[in-house]
Structure 1
Amino acid sequence: MRNHGTDFYDNDANFEKYMQRRQWQENANDTLEKPVIMELLGDISDRHILDLGCGDAGFGVELLKKGCAAYVGIEGSRKMTDASTSNLTAYNNGTVLHMRMEEYTYPRDTYNVVISRLAIHYLQHIESVFRGIHQTLKPGGKFIFSIEHPVITSTLQPSGIRTNWVVDNYFIEGYREQQWLGGTVHKYHRTVEDYFMALTGAGFRVASLRESRPVREHFLTEETYERRRRIPLFLFLEGVKNG
């Protein structure tokens, strides 16, 4: 049986390397992914937020500081869950549950916002999860998620700075394997159309589709900025529950 994506982070070496990578000043999460997520979220004052694949819940701490009413994180990695529990210690309205998002029982009409940052591409099946998310949102609530862009997941390559970008096997959906940070990462490739259809099939109205277009002010060096202009690393979608 193939490992879940969360298993990658329960390896001590992988976990340490990932946490070190997140400290890089020009890491892609902070320069390309987070700015778009923040734009899509807008004002989160008094919002009840569910975060699927919350990692160490560092983002949850930020949301609580910005005034969200309650934050619940779902995390499948035991090491990440321990880190997130530690980070949320000071917040009575911040909680993390150790389970995979496929296993969570989505309570009806509970949250204003569901977010998932760079986690859904680890799932083999997304349709049932999307239906659960739709169920757990209050009317008018929104589901915002980011994934590795399908032009990347279609042809995953070994780690390192790429100099050539090849898109191949795009319409061959399914399992992909990548060597990253010295370990093996397991992901699932889907097309942009697949994600769109899964959202609408679950009952969402698609309100936004964004890509990780770089903004110069988020980068320290011109070199990194120019390199990031070559290819979209991330895709973002926002679904709204009518009502």
Structure 2
Amino acid sequence: MSFKGSQAYDNDDFFENYMARRKREESPNERIETPVFLEKLGDVTGKHILDLGCGDARFGYELLQKGCTHFQGVDGSKNMVEAANKVLEGTNGSVAHFPLKRWDFEKHTYDVVMSRLVFHYIEDLQTIFDQVYKTLADQGQLIFSVQHPVLTSSIESAAKSSKKSNWIVDDYFNTGQRVEPWIEEQVIKYHRTTEDYFAMLKRSGFSIEDISECSPKPENFSSEEEYERRMRIPLFLIFSCRK
């Protein structure tokens, strides 16, 4: 069986394995992607933020602690929403259980729309970008990360052990669906080139302010060996855009 989008996280075994991976000390999400994402996000004081695919909302909780006025998370996984409700309890944050394609994107509502490592699971991403543009206030910011296209291009590297020492980049310009083995399941992703993301954002009306491939910083690693390994290939791609 292949899981599409948030469906995978409602498999209890998959969910538990995923959460354990995310919390491990050398998680590349925390060591590489999170610092860059926070830098691009900037000061969130007084802002209304929508997080598409918010997961357990730990990041939303952090933004509320940094002065965000209201955090609205959306996630298609029941397990993730239950975890997020516990994290956000007693805060000015909330989470809704909806697939992104069914979420009601109200007009001119949010100062920031963000998404972390979700959009490569969405087939009709152009529609999502169009809806995000609609729901942002004037001069609002869209910031999102995706798995880097050099990784989504070929599934051969994903089939290797977790401690990879080399990676295969192939079929880069043959975009579309990939079925990738991940945490002992088959997960559907959609490969796009960097140029594809850029063009789709422009079609929706966005001005692209910055992109980052999240170059690792040695001070974020406790292991020099792990830092050197992560310097070999980009894992993440972040876009910062303005309405």
Query: TM-score, with normalisation over the residues of structure 2?
Result: 0.96
Q: Distance in 1 between matches of 2:222 and 2:181?
A: 28
Give 1:94's aligned amino acid. Answer: G
Q: How does 1:20-169 map to 2 (within 5 A)?
A: 20-91=20-91, 93-156=92-155, 157-158=158-159, 159-169=161-171
- SS of the aligned residue for 1:107 comes to coil
Listed one character per residue, the Cα deviations across residues 179-223 of structure 1 (whole Å, up to 9, x for unaligned) are 111112110000001000010100000001100200000000000
Give unmatched runs, 5+ long, in structure 1: none
**Take 1:105 and 1:194, find their aligned partners in 2: how far apart are those partners?**
25
Please give the root-mean-square deviation of Cα atoms over the aligned residues, in Å: 1.1
Shift of 1:53: 0.3
Q: Aligned-pair distance for 1:102?
A: 1.2
Distance 1:16 1:69 in 2: 31
The residue type paired with residue 226 of structure 1 is: E
1:195 and 2:197 matched: yes
Instruction: Give yes or no for contact 2:76–2:100 (8 Å, CA) kept in 1.
Output: yes
- 1:231 match: 233
Flag structure 2 segments of 5+ consecutive residues without an equivalent: none
What amino acid maps onto 1:127 in structure 2?
Answer: Q
1:115/1:6 Cα in 2 relative to 1: closer, same or farther (>3 Å)?
A: same
Letter in 1 for 2:120: H
Deviations 1:119-166 (A, max 9, x none): 000001111100100000011111000000000000122152222222
Equivalenced residue count is 240
In 2, Cα distance between equivalents of 1:164 and 1:65: 39
Structure 1 runs (4+) deviating above 6 angstroms are: none
2:51–2:71: 8 Å Cα contact kept in structure 1? yes
SS of 2:124's equivalent? coil
Task: Tell me how far apart the structure 1 counterparts of residues 76 and 36 of structure 2 sit (CA, whole Å).
Answer: 25
Report the 3-state secondary structure (helix = DSSP H, G, I; strand = E; otherwise coil) of the residue aligned with 1:184: strand
Partner AA of 2:215 in structure 1? R
Q: Which residue of 1 is the match for residue 214 of structure 2? A: 212
Tell me how far apart the structure 1 counterparts of residues 198 and 16 of structure 2 sit (CA, whole Å).
Answer: 35
Output the amino acid matched with 1:49. I
**What SS does the corresponding residue of 1:45 show, helix, strand or coil?**
coil
Q: Counterpart of 2:24 in structure 1: which amino acid?
A: W
Code of the aligned partner of 1:202: S
Deviation at 1:86, TM superposition (A): 1.2
- In 1, are the aligned partners of 2:101 and 2:128 still within 8 Å (CA)? yes
Question: What is the CA–CA distance in structure 2 between the aligned matches of 1:76 and 1:235, rounded to whole Å?
Answer: 23
| CA distance in structure 2 between the partners assigned to 1:64 and 1:31 by the alignment | 21
TM-score, L = length of structure 1: 0.96
